[in-house]
Amino acid sequence: MLTQAPKGTRDILPEDIAQWNYVEQKFSELCKKFGYKEIRIPVFEHTELFQRGVGDTTDIVQKEMYTFKDKGDRSITLRPEGTAGVVRSYIEHGMGSLPQPVKLFYQITAYRYENVQKGRYREFHQFGVELLGAADPSADVEVISMLALYFEQLGIKNLVLNLNSIGCPKCRSAYNEKLKAYLKEHLSSMCETCRERYERNPMRILDCKEEGCKLRIKDAPALLDHICDECRDHFSKVTTRLEAIGIPYNIDKGIVRGLDYYTKTVFEFVSKNIGTQGTVCGGGRYDGLVEACGGAPTPGIGFALGVERLLLEMQSQGIELPKAETPHIYIGAIGEKAALMCERLAWQLRRNNIFCVKDIMNRSVKAQMKYADKLGAHYALILGDNEIENNKAQLKDMRTGETKDISLDTLIDRLVKHRG
């Protein structure tokens, strides 16, 4: 127990961190280019926020939340996603009175009590954006296009954009009746959760992952065929605009999304490579959410992208990911005088922004060279009494094996100006 991380959590080890830094940096650069500002939200919130903001008939709220009482007897939940927290912050900080729309992005960990498998963890990472205050279809296109561009920049190919509209509360109430009429005769053979959701939120049933239920849901009437004129017009403007900028999409009438607050456009980017956990990211419009959380009626749209699944997809497509930077130079020393010189040289190089590793182990020349090699240092230089006396040392290029005699006076200048 003591030496094993809890099930569903994973360390990101130093050998993998460069890939994480790379996708994080690319994402934040892209968001900033689209005018989104970073927001950081708490890891935990009042449980009620998620019950309200994610929806208390969702799998997330009913089955997956990490909820506990704190020492003050408050019910606290580790965030299972980012949207609810961002919306809470938008309301709390009066962002409704800022120039609209308000465009935010985040990079967070999220927590869900899940069946752990490849691409499905209990602590995982999401990149997301929330665009608040814009009801126009071009807002939908903006967030979808950000994702398409992100994948393009990372060199990811063949992700399928699945698109649907789940209408507004107006069209949904008429549709719910039709759906209930269809489901009625199948209900007895469906799972307990579905039976429970039948009265409270029948559409949730369409998102059930149980095989037996999925079979019956297949032929259920689709909401897209029953949306109102306003929602239909919105949807057709979204697809026309996507076509205008050349983003291919597939209409998938089956997407409901796991969250209760979605309205109109919902979408997913799905992979064919990474197995059953193929949804790399999902998003949609949530025009009722801000109001449901206690703010003024405010339209919104956003997405969340699973970073573990993104990296799995990149690996499965054979995309080369950056590795950790290696030292430009290793400087070692034998003897006290040389150690002082080594100290000075390393200090100067570091001040000049050169990645320099110096000896701090007092090992033999052989051991130091071996270490420099293991680190992948481009150059190595070992100082001893002779080198100090003659003010000269051998700079070894570890990649070619070549050595050059160089004067210690010019070493810094050389490395800084000519890097070798």
| 112 forms part of the interface with ligand ATP (CB under 6 A) | yes
Shortest approach of ligand ATP to residue 339 CB, angstroms?
Answer: 49
Sign of CA dihedral 321, 323, 325, 326: negative
Tell me which residues in 40-99 interact with ligand ATP (CB under 6 A): 81
Nearest to 250 by CA among 136, 158, 120: 158
- Answer yes or no: are the C-beta atoms of 66 and 111 closer than 8 Å: yes
Closer residue to ligand ATP in complex, CB, 55/202: 55
Distance spanning both ends of the chain, measured CA to CA: 49
Cα separation of 72 and 74, whole Å? 6
Cα separation of 59 and 283, whole Å? 16
Shortest approach of ligand ATP to residue 99 CB, angstroms?
Answer: 29
- Contact letters (x/-) for ligand ATP, 249-288, by CB under 6 A? ---------x------------------x-xxxx------
| 327 forms part of the interface with ligand ATP (CB under 6 A) | no
- Answer yes or no: are the C-beta atoms of 377 and 398 closer than 8 Å: yes
Cα separation of 108 and 304, whole Å? 10
C-beta neighbour count of 280 within 10 angstroms: 25
Beta strands in 30-189 (DSSP E): 37-38, 44-46, 67-69, 75-78, 102-111, 123-132, 160-165
Closer residue to ligand ATP in complex, CB, 275/297: 275
Q: Which stretch binds ligand ATP (CB under 6 A): 114-122, 290-298, 312-320, 368-376?
A: 114-122
Q: Which stretch binds ligand ATP (CB under 6 A): 90-98, 120-128, 187-195, 220-228?
A: 120-128
Closer residue to ligand ATP in complex, CB, 126/162: 126
Q: Which stretch binds ligand ATP (CB under 6 A): 111-119, 168-176, 242-250, 400-408?
A: 111-119
Closer residue to ligand ATP in complex, CB, 9/403: 9
Q: Which residue minimizes CB distance to ligand ATP?
A: 306
Q: Which stretch binds ligand ATP (CB under 6 A): 93-101, 118-126, 213-221, 340-348?
A: 118-126
Q: Structure tokens of 306?
A: 């699973």
Half-sphere exposure for 329 (CA within 13 Å, toward CB): 26
Tell me which residues in 290-309 interact with ligand ATP (CB under 6 A): 304, 306, 308-309
Closer residue to ligand ATP in complex, CB, 140/359: 140
- Answer yes or no: are the C-beta atoms of 99 and 130 closer than 8 Å: no
The site for ligand ATP (CB under 6 A) is made up of: 81, 112, 114, 119-121, 124, 126, 258, 277, 279-282, 304, 306, 308-309
